[in-house]
Amino acid sequence: MNKLTKIFSFLILFSPLTHAGEAEIKAALALLMPSAKVDSVTPLKEIPGLYEVSYGNKLIYMSEDGKHLIQGNLIDVLGRKNLTEQKLADGRSQVLAKLNNDSTINFKAENEKHEVAIFTDIDCGYCRKLHAEMDQYLAAGISIKYLFYPRAGKGSESYNKAVSVWCAEDKNQALTEAKQGKTPEQKTCDNPVDNHMKLGNDFEARGTPMIITSKGTVFPGYLPAKRLAKALAAD
């Protein structure tokens, strides 16, 4: 049983709330999810009596009386739209728009048409394949902002390589050589690798590469340049 399922059961069986309202819902979530910072509690216009609760980069739904919690996607059947994913994409887009270029490793297309953020692991096979085709992405007008997401976790060999790459005098060259299998010179310095990993976790990264468009749309896994360009044009 996952954490949200336990919360759901607790709310149904033991919630003392009997009145509707934002304050009551926030109070219940503060009790049950003390580490979660609730950003907003908003009446859901599509379904009267249901509230949308946003915390971090996650969404859940709660009944007006605070006794029931729903985890999952809200689908507009007639419009064939995933309303939950649209809202999450908007959130991802806003977060990525605030990223400073100094906190990512950037490969910029001369004739830029699109920009994507990619969570990458230096030792991931498909990440290496994608990077080996960098010229094709740049030629297609796709600029790439890299964020590190070493899947083996903090302190792993991949993590240490990411730190060393970031601390190199020429980050782009060091990353390219590391993607080719060369072990980077071990270095340490102030670096954003932990922040990158936290952001990847917030975005619920399940693997690498994970491509995110400027609109917050996620493309999990490797996509060749032509397919990515086509997907970006339709995004």
CATH of the domain at 22: 3.10.450
pLDDT in tens, 209-229: 999 999 999 999 999 999 999
Q: Where residue 16 falls among pLDDT bands split at 50, 70, 90?
A: very low
Structural domain containing residue 150: 103-234
Active site residues: 121, 124, 127, 151
pLDDT for 11: 45
Same domain? 131 vs 228: yes
pLDDT in tens, 189-204: 999 999 999 999 999 9
Domain end position, chosen among 75, 92, 124: 75
pLDDT for 209: 98
The verdict on residue 26 lying in a domain is: yes
Same domain? 42 vs 125: no
Domain count, the chain: 2
Label each residue of the chain as H, E or C: CCHHHHHHHHHHHHCCCCCCCHHHHHHHHHHHCCCCCEEEEEECCCCCCEEEEEECCEEEEEECCCCCEECCCCEECCCCEEHHHHHHHHHHHHHHHCCCHHHCEEECCCCCCEEEEEEECCCCHHHHHHHHCHHHHHHCCEEEEEEECCCCCCCCHHHHHHHHHHHCCCHHHHHHHHHCCCCCCCCCCCCCHHHHHHHHHHCCCCCCCEEEECCCCEEECCCCHHHHHHHHHHC
Same domain? 216 vs 123: yes
